[in-house]
Amino acid sequence: MIVALVAHDNRKPDLIDWVEYNWEKLIVHNLVCTGTTGRLIEESLKEKRKGNKAPTPHVLKLKSGPLGGDQQLGAMIAEEKIDLFIFFWDTMNPQPHDVDVKALLRIATLYNIPTAQNRATADFLISSPLFGSEYQPQEADFSTYLSRELPET
């Protein structure tokens, strides 16, 4: 399973806390993160596994969100490479890349990716019996959209 983990600056401590609480479930999966979030999560997981025989976490670190990481993650979603998306976003402060955030959430919805935008929903997703299973979400059918008639220009 490939789990994407993203957090805006003011929410990074919340996401790190959530990752540390759920580290045993997460460490066996491939993780994809944007920028600093990825570095912080990788450091946290390495610290958690000290003295354990837990596997070494694999964290793919993309660019920072405002520097293109949101688009990189969106492309991975469109290529059906992401199975679960946890995004702790800052709803109280405008982001310089708000349109990128909206596009990322839109593409995750479009491709039917289970998405959590807060800790409660993330808790529900990770505690689901479907987490880590061979669950195959229903594929989106874009045939109607792709076969539509376009007006003459």
The two structure tokens encoding residue 122: 């993330």
Q: How far apart are CA 55 and CA 77, in angstroms?
A: 25
Distances (CA, A) of 63 to 89, 109, 140, 149: 17, 22, 28, 38
Q: Rounded to whole angstroms, how far apart are CA atoms 15 and 26?
A: 13
Burial class (CB in 10 A: 0-12, 13-18, 19+), 66: middle
Catalytic residue from among 9, 14, 17, 70: 70
CA pair distance 109, 106, nearest whole angstrom: 5
123 carries an active-site annotation:
no
Q: Which residues belong to the active site?
A: 70
